[in-house]
Amino acid sequence: MHPSKKSAEELGKEVIIQPTRSSGPGGQHRNKVSTAIRATHEPTGIQAMATERRSQLENKLEALYRLRIKLALLYRSPLEDADFMPPGAYEPSWEWMERLRGDKIRVNPTHEDFPGLLAEVLDRLALEKDDLGRTAIAFRISNSQLIKFLALEPAALYALNERRRARGQRSLK
């Protein structure tokens, strides 16, 4: 299972939370109390940080969400035999299918399931060597819906466009 799809309890076993002080708005409270949070996923070394809130708990929740997004962007799941099926035979996760309305995907990028859905799509894109058509078929959506989904996390669309440019292909909007 991709780490971004793990429950808070499961992921918590793999993450080191480090409270720290930070500069910026918040006045004396921020200078005296370690409200900033750095979350490190031990198996991969991927880190995320949150400093903008005065509450350590709020920063922890934000750092963990950012960590899930970074894991989705930077970590690819190991391939299994079932992954090599043709796009039309691929079975997306129930979380994906639950949000499918016809050939459109409905998901809020701030929802706790979004990082896992993003990881699932990026894993399939990697398997398909960035072939949008094959990936869209696998997820039962159109190419434009796939691009709109990736655009919900600008770093995902940017990375895809960089890979396309390196191959001499045009950028996606």
Closest residue by Cα to residue 139 from 154, 119, 120, 163: 120
What's the pLDDT tens digit per position in 37-84? Answer: 999 999 999 999 998 887 888 999 999 999 999 999 999 988 887 778
Whether residue 152 sits in one domain with residue 87? yes
User: For position 15, what pLDDT does the model report?
Assistant: 95
Residue 135 lies in a domain: yes
Residue 172 lies in a domain: no
Q: Say if residue 20's pLDDT is above 90.
A: no
> 29 is in which domain, residue-wise?
3-74
Q: What's this model's pTM, rounded to 2 decimal places?
A: 0.87
Q: Tell me the average pLDDT across 10-36.
A: 75
Whether residue 102 sits in one domain with residue 68? no
Q: Rounded to an integer, what distance in angstroms lies between the CA atom of residue 147 and that of residue 140? A: 13
What's the pLDDT tens digit per position in 94-143? Answer: 999 999 998 899 999 999 999 999 999 999 999 999 999 999 999 999 99
Whether residue 97 sits in one domain with residue 66? no
